[in-house]
């Protein structure tokens, strides 16, 4: 029970990596708000694991504020925040990506971290304790062609993580990031452009361990960084990528 007594919010937890992280936290004793823009998917995860389902648009400040208020009302506060919600644009030449797609990628992948910090960091500062985990990507460290603006958004996440860690360390708040390679999630098809055996084989050939990241991989890594076992770890970006970035 490595997170016994802890209260967590995991965004994008209705499926994929977020669901894996939420399940790992629940199994280790945490109270978990399973937050997702798809309320039905959040409910499905919560019904199986016992968390609190909450529908949220992480790119909307009022929606994030309501999430924080409900977490305070129903859990008594938040000790752990996992900013996992993310999207990508379809592969394409950088100059051909629609402005609407660009704006949405940066709103969900970047602005959301600002909004959750604005809503939740003040209480963490008052408690002089807390853990924030941002989900970046190997795309931030080893960018892939034709995903330029997604790569850039995840690079932003890495820099934001390190800046947050430096600023918040004096008040007892740790901030880290995970950098997964693509996995069996709803985003895989958009990363690949088309989900075919040939495209999968081509991508897997770039991963030394020869497989995608799984929700369980992410859950285990998140559990470590958000537990007291990592009490001396802040500002780090942990690659969960099977060697992709070597």
Which residues are catalytically annotated? 150
> Token pair of 135, please?
């989900």
Nearest in space to 97 (alpha carbons), one of 179, 36, 155, 153: 153
177 neighbors 136 (Cβ within 8 angstroms): yes
86 neighbors 12 (Cβ within 8 angstroms): yes
Phi, psi of 209 (to 5 degrees): -80, -10
Place of tokens 């098809």: 189
Cα 140 from chain centroid (whole Å): 14
Cα separation values, 77 from 150, 194, 210, 240, Å: 32, 42, 41, 29
């Amino acid at each position: 029970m490595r997170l016994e007594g802890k209260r967590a919010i995991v965004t994008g937890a209705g499926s994929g990596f977020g669901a894996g992280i939420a399940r790992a936290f629940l199994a280790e004793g945490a109270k978990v708000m399973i937050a997702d823009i798809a309320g039905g998917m959040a409910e499905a995860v919560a019904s199986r694991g016992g968390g609190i389902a909450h529908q949220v648009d992480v790119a909307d400040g009022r929606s994030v504020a309501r999430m924080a208020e409900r977490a305070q009302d129903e859990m008594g506060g938040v000790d752990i925040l996992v900013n996992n919600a993310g999207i990508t644009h379809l592969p394409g030449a950088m100059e051909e990506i629609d402005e609407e797609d660009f704006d949405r990628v940066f709103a969900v992948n970047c602005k959301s971290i600002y909004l959750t910090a604005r809503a939740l960091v003040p209480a963490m500062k008052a408690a002089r304790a807390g853990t924030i985990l941002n989900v970046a990507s190997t795309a931030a460290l080893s960018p892939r062609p034709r995903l330029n603006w997604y790569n850039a958004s995840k690079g932003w996440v890495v820099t934001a993580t390190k800046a947050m860690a430096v600023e918040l360390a004096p008040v007892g708040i740790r901030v880290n990031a995970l950098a997964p390679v693509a996995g069996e999630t709803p985003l895989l098809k958009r990363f690949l452009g088309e989900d075919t055996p040939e495209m999968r084989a081509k991508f897997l050939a770039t991963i030394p361990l020869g497989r995608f990241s799984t929700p369980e991989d992410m859950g285990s890594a998140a559990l470590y960084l958000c537990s007291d076992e990592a009490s001396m770890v802040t500002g780090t970006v942990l690659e969960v990528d099977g060697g992709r970035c070597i």
